[in-house]
Amino acid sequence: MDNKVKIYIAVLVLIFGITLLVDKGQPKPIDWTPTYSVDDKIPFGLYIFDHEADRLFHEKVERISTQTPYEYLDSQYDSRENIETYKIKGTFINISEVNNIDDSSMKEILYFVSHGNNAFLSMKVFPKVLLDSLKIELNTDFLPNDSITAWMANKKVSLKKYTLGTGLSDYFSKIDTLNTKVLGYQTSRKNKRQINFIEVPYKNGHLYLHTQPVAFTNYNLLKKDHYQYAENLVSYIPKGNIFWYNKIFNDQRISSSPMRYIFNQPALKSAWYLGLLGILIFMIFNAKRKQRIVPIIKPLQNLTVEFTKTVGNLYYQEGDHTNIIDKKIIYFLEKIRTDYLLDTSKLDDDFINKLHYKTGKDKKDISDLVQLINDHRKSYHGSLEEDLIKINTAIEKILH
């Protein structure tokens, strides 16, 4: 082994060892990304809520993660005459940092509620379709590095106030006071009381809207007795089946780069940079090495088409139209047998119908072509150029 190569390897091993020693004493950084994913154990994930959901609701919770609310609820709708209602009854819930419900799905949720069901939505940004339908407005106070205090409006439910770690104070700034019931409040250091939890009747059902989904995250459920606040919130949901939409879409604040996972793992991140450093060192020490010019070898040309054209022109110039027609018919029937698995031994009405169904081509065009083929086969005299043109045109209509 060359001494230079040994030096390169020794340098790389030394760098790798230093990297391991440095990383070993470094604490793993906390990921504060608000993913609201049931798979994430980070502070703003819903891993704990997902595992405690059945106990919290005292019901079996059906998770909806592979379909949109519209796809799921529409599949549960019985549209038969004199029925026209949903096969399921209960409450639809969604907990997310931002609005992850499209307009079509929101309309379907409202339609689901109108049939005597309920919906519980906890999010910072609600769909515009929902806000317009219920005549409510949202507002946000930006409180960097601040927290809010939240509590229930009904003192019989709870008198306790809970501090939620969030820098945003989202609240309902306008509601329909005649139809809306206030269930909860919040306040920031400005001591301004704001509405953050309401109940809105909608036709035969009810909607429960909450602006602080952070209450259901791992961070707050594990913080002292803050789980009680989440219990107080869901206590307003009527007993019955729970349908939880927990499909999470990538938010613009979350990188969609394919390298995201590597950069989020300290060990993989260090290995990635170490690999890049090794490649850089290799390139620097081998920059003077040159590779001889690689000759360009032209690929072999496919002369099949040119050969076919030459043979075709030869037949055509010789005036052997009958031979050309026979070969075209053979080619056509062989393609029909190969592509559509049809028996071509008998070109009758049954063959015409089957070819029509399988190709979708006009039945008259197929019938005309079959007629031309049968007439050619019955003819005892040589074919003319006009016959060749007719059959060729008819075949192209079917094959193209």
Ranges 60-69, 77-86, 364-373, most confident: 60-69
Position 349 in a domain: yes
What's the pLDDT tens digit per position in 21-33? 766 666 777 888 8
Query: Among residues 55, 68, 56, which one has the least CA distance to residue 94?
Result: 68
pLDDT in tens, 271-286: 888 888 888 777 776 6
- pTM here is 0.60
240 lies in the same domain as 363: no
Residues 216 and 276 in one domain: no
User: Is 149 inside a domain boundary?
Assistant: yes
Q: Please tell me whether residues 125 and 236 are part of one structural domain.
A: yes
The CATH number that applies at residue 144 is 3.40.50
Give residue 145's pLDDT: 58
Q: Looking at the structure, do residues 149 and 266 belong to the same domain, yes or no?
A: no
**Residue 278, pLDDT score:** 80
Instruction: Compute the Cα dihedral for 10, 15, 18, 23 and give only its sign.
Output: negative
Whether residue 35 is contained in a domain is answered as: no
Please provide the average confidence, as pLDDT, over all residues in the chain: 84
Task: Say yes or no: 343 and 277 in one domain.
Answer: no
Is 337 within 8 Å of 344 (Cβ atoms)? yes
180 & 316 share domain: no
Please check whether residue 291 lies inside any domain of the structure. no
Residues 151 and 70 in one domain: yes
41 located within any domain: no
pLDDT at 150: 93
Tokens matching residue 78: 């019985």
Long-range pairs, 10-14, Cβ under 8 A, ≥24: 11/281, 12/274, 12/278, 12/281
Reported as a pLDDT band with limits 50, 70 and 90, residue 224 is confident
> 263 and 228 in one domain?
no
pLDDT band for position 366 (cuts 50, 70, 90): confident
Number of domains in the chain: 3
For the cut 80, the answer to whether the pLDDT of residue 9 exceeds it is no
Residues 333 and 383 in one domain: yes
Task: Return the structure tokens found at 319.
Answer: 């005036």
Looking at the fold, whether 205 and 65 belong to one and the same domain comes out as yes
The pLDDT confidence band at residue 239, using thresholds 50, 70 and 90, is very high
Maximum CA pair distance of the chain? 106
What does the pLDDT read at residue 292? 67
pLDDT value, residue 217: 94
Structural domain contains residue 308: yes
Q: Are residues 266 and 238 in the same domain?
A: no
- Our CA dihedral for 315, 320, 326, 330, rounded to 10 degrees, sits at 0
**Co-location of 161 and 270 in the same domain:** no
184 occurs within a structural domain: yes
The pLDDT assigned to 251 comes to 43
Check residue 139 and report its DSSP letter: E
122-142: average pLDDT:
91
pLDDT of residue 162: 93
Determine the structural domain holding residue 8 and report its residue range.
Answer: 3-28+258-285
Q: Which pLDDT belongs to residue 254?
A: 47
With cut-offs at 50, 70 and 90, classify the pLDDT of residue 63.
very high
pLDDT interval class at 250 (50, 70, 90) = very low
Residue 157 and residue 300: Cα distance in Å, rounded? Answer: 83
Structure token digits, residue 292: 């001889």
| β strands within the chain, DSSP E | 61-64, 77-78, 85-86, 90-96, 118-123, 137-142, 148-152, 162-164, 168-174, 181-187, 194-202, 205-210, 241-245
Q: In whole angstroms, give the CA distance from residue 88 to residue 42.
A: 34
pLDDT for res 337: 87
Query: Which residues, other chains included, contact 263 with Cβ-Cβ below 8 Å and sequence gap of 6+?
Result: 257, 269, 272
275 occurs within a structural domain? yes
